[in-house]
């Protein structure tokens, strides 16, 4: 009997601390009697060391010193190779994997890394061997791509370009000859020079053979995403806050409702009030002066954070959790475990 | 197991051969692990026109390097996502306009950040005047494609340009290099147009920057002949001309941002697609000038907590600042509410450096 897996998706803009929060959540959830895995994307080196990640690999490895916790880091190229082998015929797979357009798409199509991450998440859920999966997401489009990637990828492969180029719903390879005869394409070919369009079309024909199976897969992935707990991480800086707003607006399209917004690097608002009062208990006048000026700066910043976050979570009816700004970078197991200690409302979420 | 990324640099930079993503700075390989020096391309033989960052601009006086960047015709500004490159782009555009230049601030991917920092609601493809001498615009791909095909490649008017560009627009989502060449093309076309003293482009983040900088080469590699190829080589030569174009890298003194910046410096020193004009460390916290022990000894409360937070963060920043060139540093701005306020303050600070 396979296990029911609890999945937590950690999303948000680049630079807000998604990978750190994912690792901290995973350490918090980990239990020696359970199997928990954290799937990271592009961790900083020191965090990768802490998690025992020695190489880019989709296969989870045990996290040193945390019984019951495994970690992996996304290898998008390997994921795409897996996708091609699973969803296309063997001869097509061989052609695709050696095609330089395929490599360009797998490496550079913005949703491609996100699609690889969703595919890995789904594979792990379906394995039925994990109690909990924490999913760190690629920063592309403020995290939105992770949710849009399944349908975008199916669209690309089902492609309007291919239909336009060939004029057929389900073209066979012989349509290529007709395709090169189209007058408009002769012009395009002249402008672009050489056989560029022809190469692309041939590649797309191969890709097209995967469409039905991949579209069905995309639908399954979306169901996994809808069942998961989604946490949106942000800081109080204007750019990530704007991303959160955009995220909520656009997520309704894919029927995803985040469970919480998690404000990272938060400052206590009490500092703002304390900055207005005289400092007591510091006899050294110079030290008092320095600390007073410092408290006024940080208190002002705390006030700004509060203003920036005002109404953000209420607006969408989800709780706002705050993770304090800490001086010590949270990269050791101990610091990561402590990071979420005083976060109210976290356990209800997990 | 390890190879040095850049043996001349202060500190230790390395990447693990068996796990190239595990690279970093400041840590010494564990005992028993092999450490091999590998010379980078620019130490041996590179024939491109731009020089190595460190030898030509690396440790120059910050005022000089800032002035030189603004005196060229094109400045690309990039950095890891979230480090403040739109803020710095807007601030430099404001400074240049104050100095009497006619400046175009151009958002290459996503207009929102640059628009907010310039204090306008949005930016359009057509340059619009923001204040005297300062204009703003944003690259949107379908317009850029039309311009690329129609205006720059001089397609005959009789050709069905609209239809053709629709076709190439969908192709651009698939074929490597086309999206990028059209986007990197726009700021260069604006330089060719000759209407501006300076074009400042808020460029794609570091993770994507290479594919834009290399787009002209990608195209010349894929397309054997024709107008597109000629166009691509012209773009390449404007971009790599150190008298015309330079790149400013913005970073914050944090592990990932510094690591990506150093990788970019190494890659561009090798690829030589553009001159690196400078590196700006943003959001730098100045030390408080009092010992952490003295702060720790005072009674618990907000003053102690804020003091220890500042001291701890500043110490950690100092480690990362060590491993990037001693170039321009911009302070962390406390309590600034809007992107417009941030850009204006940064502009004042940058102007003070020049």
Which range (A276-285, B8-17, B170-179) has the least confidence? B8-17
Contacts of A40 in chain B (CB under 8 A): none
What contacts B243, CB < 8 A, 6 or more positions away? B72
Mean pLDDT value of segment B19-41: 31
Pairing of strands B13-16, B23-25: antiparallel
Closest by CA to A96, choosing from A79, B170, A88, is A88
Percent above pLDDT 70 for chain A: 83
ipTM of the complex in this document: 0.86
Q: How many CB pairs under 8 A join A and B?
A: 196
- Report the top-level CATH class of B49-284+333-353: alpha beta
What is the rounded distance in angstroms from the CA atom of residue B310 to the CA atom of residue B308?
5
Contacts of A194 in chain B (CB under 8 A): 222-226
- CA closest to B293 among chain A residues: A287
Distance in Å, alpha carbon of B103 to nearest chain A alpha carbon: 24
Q: Report the pLDDT value the prediction gives residue B151, as an integer from 0 to 100.
A: 54
Distance in Å, alpha carbon of A320 to nearest chain B alpha carbon: 20
Q: Report the pLDDT value the prediction gives residue A45, as an integer from 0 to 100.
A: 86
Distance in Å, alpha carbon of B248 to nearest chain A alpha carbon: 20
Out of B82, B256, B312, the one facing A327 most closely (by C-beta) is B312
Q: What are the pLDDT digits (tens) for A267-289?
A: 999 999 999 999 988 999 999 99
pLDDT category at B21 given cuts 50, 70, 90 is very low
Q: Report the pLDDT value the prediction gives residue B39, as an integer from 0 to 100.
A: 25
Asked if B334's CB is within 8 angstroms of A327's CB, the reply is: no
Q: Report the pLDDT value the prediction gives residue B28, as an integer from 0 to 100.
A: 32
Q: Residues of B numbered 231-250 whose beta carbons fall under 8 angstroms of chain A's beta carbons: which are they?
A: none
Determine contact, residues B72/B243, Cβ cutoff 8 Å: yes
Asked if A42's CB is within 8 angstroms of B21's CB, the reply is: yes
Q: Report the pLDDT value the prediction gives residue A208, as an integer from 0 to 100.
A: 77
Contacts of B309 in chain A (CB under 8 A): 298, 325-327
Q: What is the distance between the terminal CA atoms of chain A, rounded to a whole angstrom? A: 23
Report which of residues B310 and B232 the model is more confident about: B310
Q: Which of B208, B251, B306, B334 to mutate to test the interface with A (most CBs of A within 10 A)?
A: B306
Please enumerate, as own/partner, the contacts of B207-214 that have beta carbons within 8 Å and a separation of 24 or more. Answer: B207/B80, B207/B81, B207/B260, B208/B109, B209/B78, B209/B264, B210/B264, B210/B267, B210/B271, B211/A108, B211/B180, B212/B108, B212/B180, B212/B183, B212/B184, B213/B184, B213/B239, B213/B268, B213/B271, B213/B273, B213/B274, B214/B180, B214/B271, B214/B273
Contacts of B27 in chain A (CB under 8 A): 45-46
Out of A44, A187, A287, the one facing B159 most closely (by C-beta) is A187
Contacts of A307 in chain B (CB under 8 A): 337
Out of A15, A161, A328, the one facing B81 most closely (by C-beta) is A15
Distance in Å, alpha carbon of A295 to nearest chain B alpha carbon: 6
Q: Is the pLDDT of residue A195 over 70?
A: no
What contacts A99, CB < 8 A, 6 or more positions away? A203, A206
Out of A104, A191, A291, the one facing B176 most closely (by C-beta) is A104
Contacts of A301 in chain B (CB under 8 A): 334-335
What is the rounded distance in angstroms from the CA atom of residue A19 to the CA atom of residue A73?
10
Determine contact, residues A303/A272, Cβ cutoff 8 Å: yes
- Kindly list the domain boundaries of chain A, sorted by start residue: 6-272+299-349
Q: In whole numbers, what is the pLDDT of chain A averaged over residues?
A: 84
Cβ of B21 under 8 Å from any chain A Cβ? Answer: yes
Q: Residues of B numbered 277-306 whose beta carbons fall under 8 angstroms of chain A's beta carbons: which are they?
A: 288-290, 294-295, 298-299, 301-306
Q: Report the pLDDT value the prediction gives residue A139, as an integer from 0 to 100.
A: 78
Give, in order, the Cα–Cα distances in Å from A125 to each of A66, A131, A220, A223, B265: 21, 9, 11, 11, 40
Which range (A42-51, A142-151, A230-239, B222-231) has the least confidence? B222-231
Q: Considering all CA atoms of chain A, what is the largest pairwise distance in Å, rounded to the nearest integer? A: 89
Q: Which of A46, A327, A332, A335 to mutate to test the interface with B (most CBs of B within 10 A)?
A: A327
Asked if A16's CB is within 8 angstroms of B163's CB, the reply is: no
Distance in Å, alpha carbon of A201 to nearest chain B alpha carbon: 10
Q: What are the pLDDT digits (tens) for B187-229?
A: 999 999 999 999 999 999 887 888 889 888 877 776 666 677 7
Q: Report the pLDDT value the prediction gives residue A332, as an integer from 0 to 100.
A: 93
What contacts B161, CB < 8 A, 6 or more positions away? B146, B149, B150, B155
Report which of residues A297 and A199 the model is more confident about: A297
Q: In whole numbers, what is the pLDDT of chain B averaged over residues?
A: 79
Which range (A146-155, B72-81, B299-308) has the least confidence? A146-155
Which range (B4-8, B108-112, B199-203) has the least confidence? B4-8
Cβ of B100 under 8 Å from any chain A Cβ? Answer: no
Out of A192, A279, A300, the one facing B228 most closely (by C-beta) is A192
- Kindly list the domain boundaries of chain B, sorted by start residue: 1-39, 49-284+333-353
Which range (A29-38, A243-252, B272-281) has the least confidence? A243-252
Residue found under tokens 């990028």: B180
Determine contact, residues A335/A50, Cβ cutoff 8 Å: no
Q: What are the pLDDT digits (tens) for A43-52?
A: 888 899 999 9
pLDDT category at B37 given cuts 50, 70, 90 is very low
What contacts B226, CB < 8 A, 6 or more positions away? A190, A191, A192, A193, A194
pLDDT category at A181 given cuts 50, 70, 90 is low
Q: Report the pLDDT value the prediction gives residue A317, as an integer from 0 to 100.
A: 85
Asked if A238's CB is within 8 angstroms of B116's CB, the reply is: yes
Q: Is the pLDDT of residue B287 over 90?
A: yes
Distance in Å, alpha carbon of A138 to nearest chain B alpha carbon: 12
Domain A6-272+299-349 has CATH 3.90.1150.10: no
Mean pLDDT value of segment B342-354: 95
Q: Is the pLDDT of residue B52 over 80?
A: no
């Amino acid at each position: 009997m396979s296990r029911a897996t609890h999945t937590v998706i950690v999303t948000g803009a680049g630079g807000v601390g998604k990978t750190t929060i994912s690792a901290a959540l995973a350490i918090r959830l980990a239990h020696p009697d359970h199997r928990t895995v954290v799937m990271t994307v592009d961790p900083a080196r020191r965090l990768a060391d802490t998690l025992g990640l020695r190489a880019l690999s989709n296969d989870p490895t045990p996290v040193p010193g945390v019984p019951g916790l495994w970690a992996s880091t996304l290898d998008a190229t390997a994921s795409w190779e897996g996708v091609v082998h699973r969803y296309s015929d063997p001869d097509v797979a061989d052609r695709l994997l050696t095609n330089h357009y395929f490599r360009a798409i797998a490496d550079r199509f913005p949703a491609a890394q996100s699609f690889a991450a969703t595919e890995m998440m789904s594979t792990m859920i379906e394995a039925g061997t994990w109690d909990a999966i924490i999913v760190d997401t690629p920063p592309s489009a403020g995290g939105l791509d992770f949710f849009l990637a399944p349908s975008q990828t199916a669209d690309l492969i089902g492609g309007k370009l291919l239909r336009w180029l060939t004029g057929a719903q389900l073209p066979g390879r012989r349509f290529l000859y007709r395709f090169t005869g189209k007058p408009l394409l002769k012009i395009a070919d002249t402008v672009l020079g050489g056989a560029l369009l022809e190469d692309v079309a041939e590649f797309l024909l191969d890709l097209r053979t995967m469409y039905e199976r991949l579209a069905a897969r995309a639908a399954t992935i979306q169901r996994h995403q809808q069942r998961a707990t989604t946490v949106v991480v942000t800081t109080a800086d204007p750019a990530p806050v704007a991303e959160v707003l955009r995220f909520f607006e656009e997520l309704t399209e894919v029927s995803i409702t985040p469970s919480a917004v998690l404000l990272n690097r938060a400052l206590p608002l009490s500092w703002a009030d304390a900055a207005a009062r005289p400092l007591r208990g510091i006899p050294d006048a110079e030290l008092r002066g320095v600390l007073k000026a410092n408290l006024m700066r940080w208190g002002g910043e705390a006030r700004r954070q509060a203003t920036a976050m005002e109404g953000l979570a209420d607006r969408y009816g989800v709780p706002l959790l705050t993770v304090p700004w800490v001086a010590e970078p949270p990269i050791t197991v101990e610091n990561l475990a402590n990071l979420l200690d005083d976060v109210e409302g976290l356990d209800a979420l997990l | 197991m390890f190879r040095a990324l850049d043996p001349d640099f202060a500190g230790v930079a390395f990447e693990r051969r068996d796990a190239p993503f595990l690279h970093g700075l400041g840590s010494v390989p564990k005992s028993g692990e092999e450490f091999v020096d590998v010379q980078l391309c620019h130490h041996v033989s590179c024939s491109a026109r731009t020089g190595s960052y460190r030898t030509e601009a690396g440790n120059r006086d910050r005022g000089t390097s800032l002035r030189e960047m603004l005196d060229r015709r094109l400045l690309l500004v990039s950095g890891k996502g979230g480090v403040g490159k739109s803020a710095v782009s807007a601030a430099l555009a404001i400074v240049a306009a104050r100095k009497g230049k006619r400046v175009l601030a151009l958002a290459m991917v996503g207009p929102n950040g640059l628009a907010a920092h310039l204090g306008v609601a949005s930016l359009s493809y057509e340059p619009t005047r923001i204040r005297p001498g300062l204009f703003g615009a944003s690259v949107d791909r379908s317009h850029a494609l039309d311009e690329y095909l129609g205006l720059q490649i001089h397609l005959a008017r009789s050709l069905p340009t609209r239809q053709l560009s629709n076709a190439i627009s969908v192709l651009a989502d698939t074929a490597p290099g086309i999206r990028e060449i059209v986007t990197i093309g726009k700021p260069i076309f604006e330089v060719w147009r000759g209407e501006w003293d300076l074009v400042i482009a808020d460029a794609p983040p570091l993770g994507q920057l290479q594919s834009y900088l290399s787009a002209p080469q990608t195209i010349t590699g894929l397309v054997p002949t024709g107008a597109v190829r000629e166009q691509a080589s012209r773009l390449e030569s404007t971009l790599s001309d150190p008298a015309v174009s330079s790149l400013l890298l913005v970073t914050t003194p944090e592990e990932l941002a510094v690591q990506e910046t150093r990788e970019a410096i190494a890659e561009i020193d090798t690829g030589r697609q553009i001159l690196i004009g400078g590196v700006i460390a943003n959001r730098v916290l100045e030390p408080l000038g009092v010992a952490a022990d003295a702060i720790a000894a005072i009674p618990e409360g907000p003053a102690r907590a804020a003091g220890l937070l500042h001291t701890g963060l500043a110490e950690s920043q100092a480690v990362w600042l060590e491993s990037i060139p001693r170039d321009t540093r911009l302070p962390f701005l406390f309590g600034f509410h809007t992107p417009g306020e941030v850009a204006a303050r940064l502009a004042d600070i940058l102007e003070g450096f020049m």
